[in-house]
Structure 1
């Protein structure tokens, strides 16, 4: 099935007649403009997607940085809490030792009083 005779029969009257040239040129120009518009939309959507991906990567890096800072702060907090716990446990041991010494002193002093 050959389409060339159909195309020649359909378009040859318009191509051979000069009065149709402006319409043919306008049609070709509109077709080219439409294709350029489609290319522009494609490039625009691609760039939009590309910049969107870059923005997501930037946000991810920023979140990673903030997470690292949070981890550092939490580790410092843990160290401070451990130091505070050690200090409190030492104070408690000192208080217990003082109470034991006071009780021993009371017992020895009461023992001396009873001996007299």
Structure 2
């Protein structure tokens, strides 16, 4: 026979309550013994999280510095390009002005030669 005693409802209830209280006592005892280890693990996790945050902040700082350096280089290159374009424009304008001046001088020389020929022809007729 499994259980010789007659199990009444009240007996089963008390047995269940005793089992639950034993489980609760075991759980509380396990929690009390695990508390220092848990606190230690939490402290470790906090240190790891702080180190991770520090590394992330360092990466952000390096990234920001790199972006600033690249922006400065781009600004310098753009300034150089603008200066070169401006110099090229000035050179082109001065070359155009010099060409126009030569054309005007050549035209003036041709006119002077034509006027001289005209004056010589008038002088021969007179």
TM-score bin (small chain)? 0.5 to 0.7
The corresponding residue for 2:80 is 72
Aligned length: 98
Q: 2:50, 2:65 → 1: CA distance?
A: 22
What is the TM-score with the length of structure 1 in the denominator? 0.67
By relative contact order (CA 8 Å, sep 6+), the higher-ranking structure is 1
What does 1:1-116 correspond to in 2, within 5 Å?
22-115=30-123, 116=125
Instruction: Note the residue ranges of structure 2 that are not aligned, 5 or more in a row.
Output: 1-25
Output the CA distance in 2 between the equivalents of 1:49 and 1:101.
Answer: 77
Q: CA deviation at 1:21?
A: 5.2
Q: Please identify, of 19-28 and 96-105, the stretch whose mean Cα deviation from structure 2 is larger.
A: 19-28
TM-align CA RMSD:
2.2
CA distance in 2, matches of 1:32, 1:71: 58
| Structure 1 unmatched runs, 5+ | 1-18
Q: Which has the larger radius of gyration?
A: 2
